Structure 1
Amino acid sequence: MASWILGITGGIGSGKTAATDYLHSLGITIVDADVVSREIVAPGQPALTAIHQYFGDEALLENGQLNRPWLRQRVFSDPEQRLALEAITHPAIREGLRQQLQAATSPYAVLASPLLWESGQVNFVQRTLLIDVSEATQMLRASQRDGVSAEQIKAIMQAQWSRGQRLARADDIVSNEGSVADLQRQLDTLHQQYLELASA
């Protein structure tokens, strides 16, 4: 496993991907929990079989892929169903993350996860960086990007830690209310600090 791992998190629409894309351009390995969460529910994967068994045929599309819109609506309107889904997916995601972090060869590695604290994935990392925006900005960006209804965005936000909880727990905080250049300037400074911490 990479000897020094930074956890990057932020709520929906905060701009985590803009941050990780930039660090990747600086030569840093990015392990993305969202990507791993898609990989573990690909056809033929044990997690998809378990989801199908628990949620029934509606959980799959005709081509055998996961029916994401249906499942998202189902679990974000029913906390019990969400916990059932997480019980299936979280252990598989954790193992996928562990394998990818083990293979990382950059000076430090990044674990990007919207549920860094909630899922316990924070246990993989030495330090945490929060990409922070106001809740109004989250709503605006998420609706523009994903075409998801305001109700669904609110449900996703409620399932994640609040902004206040994240601000209280993060080691480092970057504000992403400004331009991309502004975000990158803040990341440049932190990147140098992380290189020093990783080499120490």
Structure 2
Amino acid sequence: MKIGLTGGIATGKSTVASMLVERGALLVDADQVAREVVMPGEPALEAVASKFGQAVIHKEDGTLDRAALGAIVFKDKEMLAQLEGILHPAIRERMKQRIAQYEADFPNKLIVADIPLLYETGQDKQYEGVMVAYVPERIQQERLMKRNSISADEASRRIGLQMDIEEKKRRAEWVIDNSGTLEDTERHIDSFMQNMRLV
């Protein structure tokens, strides 16, 4: 069984992912794959360098200079769209291959694809269901301010860039309420695993 896992910024998605892994799930993490596809020698890195110039590559070791690339794309929506046009297909293809490999090697295991912008990018239909790590926006804002040492206004701005967490909750097949203690979250995860007969 393969499911998508998503949430909002500071809703505890990574916590939920690691609890699922502790219970035997196999994780395919979009952020991790995004780092892999821009390693030296990868076609996506070569495409980025040819589009944005050698200034975005560290001379010493040939790795991506994220700061230099960020300085280009975050000022210009058109440039950002071009970067996404290179990276997103490479990330999706790598994830698809990894999931297919897991399905072949471990047919009875739960496979979890952790994708921050799952709904926003229309990938939810590729999975048998979607799990959302959920906290109400007020808690989301408090946690983000504390975690990143930012103001309430900046936290609200960042939260506002994503789909509303209540909308994600409404669309999800499974909601893991992450607003209580870690033990509470563990209980939600255990209940999910039992209901799905994954234990």
TM range (shorter): 0.7 to 0.9
Amino acid aligned to 2:57:
L
Write the mapping of 1:153-168 to structure 2, written as runs, cut at 5 A. 157-168=159-170
Deviations along 1:112-143, one digit per CA (max 9) or x if unpaired, are 11011222332321001110123444344445
- Aligned equivalent of 2:131: 129
- Where does the alignment leave 5 or more consecutive residues of structure 2 unmatched? none
User: Does residue 8 of structure 1 match 2:42?
Assistant: no
* Per-residue deviation, 1:90: 1.0
Q: Which runs of 4+ in 1 moved over 3 A?
A: 69-78, 134-159
TM-score of the superposed pair, with normalisation by structure 2: 0.82
For residue 63 of structure 2, give the secondary structure of its aligned residue in structure 1: coil
How many Å apart are 1:147 and its aligned residue?
A: 6.7
Asked if the contact 2:24/2:110 (under 8 Å) is kept, the reply is no
Q: Which has the larger radius of gyration?
A: 2
Aligned equivalent of 1:67: 65
Task: State the superposition RMSD in angstroms.
Answer: 2.8
- Distance (Å, rounded) in 2 between the aligned partners of 1:186 and 1:81: 41
Mapped pair 1:48 → 2:45:
yes
Counterpart in the other structure of 2:18: 21
User: Distance between the aligned counterparts of 1:147 and 1:77, measured in 2?
Assistant: 23
User: Would the alpha carbon gap of residues 7 and 144 (structure 1) be closer, same or farther in structure 2, given more than 3 Å must change?
Assistant: same
Q: Distance in 2 between matches of 1:55 and 1:151?
A: 33
Tell me the secondary structure at the aligned position of residue 103 of structure 1. Answer: helix
Name the aligned partner's letter for residue 99 of structure 1.
Q
Structure 1 unaligned blocks of 5 or more:
none
Match for residue 86 of structure 1? 84
**For residues 86 and 131 of structure 1, do their structure 2 counterparts lie closer, same or farther at Cα, with a shift above 3 Å needed?**
same
Q: Is the 8 A contact 1:22 1:184 kept in 2?
A: yes
Residue equivalent to 2:94: 96
User: How far apart are the structure 2 equivalents of 1:44 and 1:102?
Assistant: 23
Q: Percent identity?
A: 34
> Cα offset for 1:155?
6.2
Q: Could you give the per-residue CA deviations for residues 137-158 of structure 1, whole angstroms, max 9, x where no partner exists?
A: 4344445556789888666544
Q: CA deviation at 1:103?
A: 1.8
AA at the equivalent of 2:41:
G
**Number of residue equivalences:** 194
Q: TM-score if structure 1 supplies the norm length?
A: 0.82
